[in-house]
Chains A and B, each alone.
Chain A
């Protein structure tokens, strides 16, 4: 079945550091890929998405590129801020799976001033 493997946390960085959170996936079809973010005390919010190979999703300075050859969708940001502290979830939606989301385990990011 479908699965998402996500870099384990927690990750602690200093402000303005470079961020990478690794995500790889296994899917039977041609999935769409997503990053969701959960800020402290809040619900899940869509951060970015990519629907086909080589697409790059971007939002709020975060980027991720859909790499079919390596089945990866790594999240990157060039300069993190304290306000980026949150839990980040990689997810996929496979058309063959009624479009439910399959999530990774989540990565806790803490950015220190």
Chain B
């Protein structure tokens, strides 16, 4: 597709269940990012992939959160044993390689709205 695609668009699950969120970046974009948007916390960085490796996992809030990327394309964010505070919109973004030290703008998907009951 033309843009970053995320699925599902909405997910409602019970506390304690595991959830898996998917991101399909723009074709050719080597960098992929996960963010979380929640009331009171704004937009928070979670993890960054360059190709299939994740040089920066500093934003993951706990060891219940993990992410992987395969084939330099699709990424999944997994939250184990979900808690109510995990309720948020999870956003994925991708960007193309920069040159000369500049940062290429990130293009965002529409997000997955996660609600933990």
Report B-chain residues with C-beta under 8 Å of the C-beta of A58: none
Report B-chain residues with C-beta under 8 Å of the C-beta of A51: 102-103
Instruction: Given A43-B110, A51-B102, verify A98-B42 contact (CB < 8 Å).
Output: no
A46's partner among B59, B107, B109 (CB-CB below 8 A) is B107
- Interface range for B: 20 to 34
Question: From DSSP, what is the main secondary structure of chain B's interface residues?
Answer: strand
- Docked Cα-Cα span, A49 to B55, in Å, equals 25
Binary B-proximity of A27-54 (CB < 8 A = 1, otherwise 0): 0000010101000001111100101000
Q: Is the CB of A98 within 8 A of B56?
A: yes
Of B42, B43, B59, B108, most buried by chain A (CB within 10 Å of CB) is: B43
What distance in Å separates the Cβ of B106 from its nearest Cβ neighbour in chain A? 6
Instruction: Given A95-B101, A95-B103, verify A45-B43 contact (CB < 8 Å).
Output: no
What are 16 A-to-B residue pairs whose CB atoms are below 8 Å?
A36-B108, A44-B91, A44-B93, A44-B108, A49-B105, A89-B43, A93-B106, A97-B56, A98-B48, A99-B48, A100-B56, A101-B106, A104-B42, A105-B42, A106-B42, A106-B43
Contacts A43-B110, A46-B105, A101-B33 supplied; 6 other A-B pairs, CB < 8 Å: A93-B106, A97-B56, A100-B59, A101-B35, A101-B45, A106-B42
The 6 closest A-B CB pairs, nearest first, are A103-B43, A43-B110, A44-B108, A98-B56, A100-B45, A32-B103
